A and B are shown apart, each in its own frame.
Chain A
């Protein structure tokens, strides 16, 4: 790009944002004529001015209405994966509420794990799927045999499954050393035999041991209950039910840039607040698209911005965003009014009546739209 062109584009610095200028620079061909560039910049500026919002426009309320009204038309609360039992996804209104409330425990936590292009093959994805799936001992067991007289617990494992998971009983022994205190451990082909060390006192201990070893993780990542490798276009992707974003990203073959997780809180903790903001936008938009609705993405972006504005992920609940409101009356009008009023009294809070709700309450013009401009007079 010619120097003079670049200078010309930069002359719009005080009118357009740096990101837009950068985009223009990137997309304009190097041999562009001066006239054409002028025209492009004029049109860009026009489009930018058109997209701007007037001062005093209630963007928040318009967003709320724009999301709320289509929300009333949402149907279907779950979505099922064909062919896979017990793999369904919350969508629709329940999912929207889940996201906007920034709930810690979501109903169907999921991940989409992408592999790096070099590693992407059917074999690899299958291996990877087995590697990350959380396997508990209970899944491999064919039979438990309790012998009360000898105080032994004999665990018979399924040979075929052992082979499939590429495990040997010897490896398992290491895992159980710490978990089975007070017992000695013997191995016999595909059997694990726990023998009580001390005097036989109670059968209860054997029972407890049985329950305990049943839920011992022997392979995979914690929390990943199911893995489903699917083909997306040319490449293979792992869909997981249950999440563990942090550990998944540590695998060398995983493409960390594209791997996502639908648990906003987990994204926030692992990748930070900007990632959480983008996750909110993506997840909400996914729901809206699936419902066949059409909501301008800027409304969702605004909500996501509000949730992340403090640098901490906050849900739109009385503990989250609403607790940040400056006005006592506004907070009291949302939920639990008496609690807010009493706390406000204890702290001697002052309500400056700067926002909408409190002005509606006391029947004063709201400081928005036509109520925003005031009269400035010169006092002598």
Chain B
């Protein structure tokens, strides 16, 4: 006796669990019951669970009967000849989808060789335990799973050829890699997903070694000559747009070159790239502050007085321009309408990004690094055969992270490059390391992948042999050009008069609470004061009332007490504006915050 539940709701009971479950599966396979139905039984609890609801993760498996896979050579041949499709296999009962519950009652073999009488299913490929992006890591079976996850996360940030129609698109922050390669060490998934249609990296020559300290702490060193020849070069696209907004009263924005009498007019120089229609011409080289789309808006507040005003209403300038620290070339202009029927102008900016110090690179094994230096060709280490690396990777990245696949890819791609073929690194099914080594030896190189190297600066042979080979390296979208910022003086916040925060607002870097503590701990009292001087102000304080006064410019700028007027001694006090604000806020609570002044000396 067992209770039967459909989608967790009790629907009845059966005598024989096994035969009932077998019947259900049989009917499903024959198509009498829906394909999406899964059944799970639990002998100890004497329960049978049927599930047909949505939201269950299911995965396909090859059916096995009497220790034999139902997927035969015939099926594969038919698939190759496009006589049948995947769906046909599912309909024929060769392939079956199991959910988490039914999987519990199944015995799944990893490989066909492992099949025995007891097995119910066979994995389509042993590598399917990983997802799509993680399967793109070659030789992943040599790694910790956490490194594979990091590796796949990194690949998602890589620059590549993301869409063939990129030059017609207005994607935000789009990057396109110049001359992307298909990896020499590939996996089956690379073929399945047509990776050659949208590759995202380049095959580089990589040496695992140190070069002074420039690749310490996960740095990478680039060969300047390689970079100048176009290695890892990319283009950055960014659209800017302007719209003719409609306001109440029939007023409307106007896209045009602003008149000189417009409120907030910039200099003529700023508008120099605009054509007659107020829009920039393509291929104009823009610098910060340059206007891309000229626009004027109607005045913000219309008072009744303005209607009688002869000088008509003065329009505001509301052009779109490049912000602080931005550059680019106007690439592409689109004139269109938006959903509300307003005129919409979009301009795509383009910028060539040549790899520089601070740009991020990664292999496919979670071994990311930031460029530490670009070494000129003449200083780069070279091998006996004259091979120079494009990229130098630090050996310290390997010991703690244990990414063996990184090392094997290097040797694999070296074999591939020398033999002129692709190397398979599919999870659990890739080429064997020993075979690769043997082949490398046959190609006339040292079996362990190392070579004798010479220091490019001195010409002397290096003491150690250098592990060198090819690797598929990816350029990641985090580039210094987007992030670098510095400030000495700049905009401040309206309320606190302290520097703004964030790159977009040209902000400062905050010296926080804990940083403040370090200065105090060192006893650097005056340095601390100077660091917090950004909102320093001088206020006149009434010595009688202890309140802050004001300067009256009708009386030659004399400071006036709020309580005693001119009948009090006023002293100028230097405090931070934030403190002045605090005193004001305390007063707004109805408290009398009084400053008792004392002679400093």
Residues of B within 8 A of A366 (CB): 520, 525, 528-529
- Measured CA separation A366–B601 after assembly (Å): 16
Known: A341-B591, A342-B589, A363-B579. A377 touches B601 (CB 8 A): yes
In the complex, what residues of B have CB within 8 A of residue A356's CB?
520
A342 contacts B591, CB within 8 Å? yes
Q: Chain B contacts of A360 at CB under 8 A? A: 516, 520, 528, 532
| Interface residue ranges of A324-380 to B (CB < 8 Å) | 338, 341-342, 345, 350, 356, 360-372, 374-375, 377
CB 8 Å contact bits of B456-482 with A (1 = contact, 0 = none)? 000000000000000000000000000
CA distance A133 to B253 in the complex (A): 85
Give the number of chain B interface residues (Cβ < 8 Å): 29
State whether A361 touches B523 (Cβ < 8 A).
Answer: no
A-B contact count (CB 8 A): 77
Contacts A363-B529, A363-B576; A64 near B524 (Cβ below 8 A): no
Across the interface, do A369 and B525 meet the contact criterion of CB distance under 8 Å? Answer: yes
Tell me if B275 is interfacial: C-beta within 8 Å of chain A: no
Q: B118 on the interface (CB 8 Å rule)?
A: no
Min C-beta distance of A104 to chain B, whole Å: 29
Please determine whether B591 and A363 come into contact, CB atoms closer than 8 angstroms: no
In the complex, what distance in Å separates the CA atom of A345 from the CA atom of B518? Answer: 33
The answer for the CA separation of A62 and B574 in the assembled complex, in Å, is 29
Chain B contacts with A in 482-533, Cβ cutoff 8 A: 516-518, 520-526, 528-529, 532-533
The listed residue (B524, B578, B601) touching A370 by CB distance below 8 A is B524
Q: Does B86 contact A (CB under 8 A)?
A: no
Nearest CB on B from A357, distance (A): 10
A211 at the interface (CB under 8 A from B): no
Q: How far does the alpha carbon of A119 sit from the alpha carbon of B378 in the complex, in Å? A: 84
Taking the complex as formed, is A65 at the interface, i.e. its CB lies under 8 A from any CB of chain B? yes
Q: How far is the CA of A96 from the CA of B96 in the complex (A)?
A: 56
A61 to B526, CA, bound (A): 17
Are A362 and B579 closer than 8 Å at their CB atoms?
yes
Contacts of B574 in A (CB 8 A): 363
A301-339 interface code vs B (CB 8 A; 1 in, 0 out): 000000000000000000000000000000000000010
A57 CB within 8 Å of chain B:
yes
- Docked Cα-Cα span, A341 to B585, in Å, equals 11
| Cβ of A198 to closest chain B Cβ, rounded Å | 50
Q: Collect the chain A residues with CB atoms within 8 Å of residue B518's CB.
A: 65
B592 at the interface (CB under 8 A from A): yes
- Whether a CB of chain A sits under 8 angstroms from the CB of B596 is yes
Q: Which of B517, B523, B593 contacts A57 (CB 8 A)?
A: B523
Q: How far is the CB of A162 from chain B (nearest CB, A)?
A: 40
**Cross-chain contact of B517 among A56, A65, A345, A374 (Cβ < 8 A):** A65
Report which residue of B521, B522, B536 has the largest number of chain A beta carbons within 10 angstroms of its beta carbon.
B521
Chain A contact patch, size range: 20 to 34
Contact A362 B520 (CB under 8 A): no
Contact B596 A370 (CB under 8 A): no
Q: Let me know if A62 and B523 touch, CB within 8 A.
A: no
Given known pairs A341-B589, A375-B601, the reply for A65 and B521 (CB within 8 Å) is yes
Q: CA–CA, A372 to B528, complex, Å? A: 13
Q: Which residues of chain A have C-beta atoms less than 8 A from B526's C-beta?
A: 365, 370-371
* In the assembled complex, B586 has its CB within 8 A of some CB on chain A: yes
Contact of A363 among B532, B589, B596 (CB under 8 A): B532
A364 to B: closest C-beta gap in Å? 7
Assess the A363–B575 pair: CB atoms within 8 A: yes
CB distance from A252 to the nearest CB of B (A): 51
B-chain residues with CB within 8 Å of residue A57 when the two chains form the complex: 523
Query: A-side interface residues toward B, CB under 8 Å?
Result: 56-58, 61-62, 64-65, 338, 341-342, 345, 350, 356, 360-372, 374-375, 377
Q: Could you list 16 further interchain pairs (A-B, Cβ under 8 angstroms) beyond the known A62-B521, A362-B575, A366-B520?
A: A57-B523, A338-B589, A341-B586, A341-B591, A360-B528, A361-B578, A363-B533, A363-B574, A363-B575, A363-B579, A365-B529, A366-B529, A368-B520, A370-B524, A371-B523, A372-B525
Give B residues with C-beta under 8 Å from A. 516-518, 520-526, 528-529, 532-533, 535-536, 574-576, 578-579, 582, 586, 589, 591-593, 596, 601
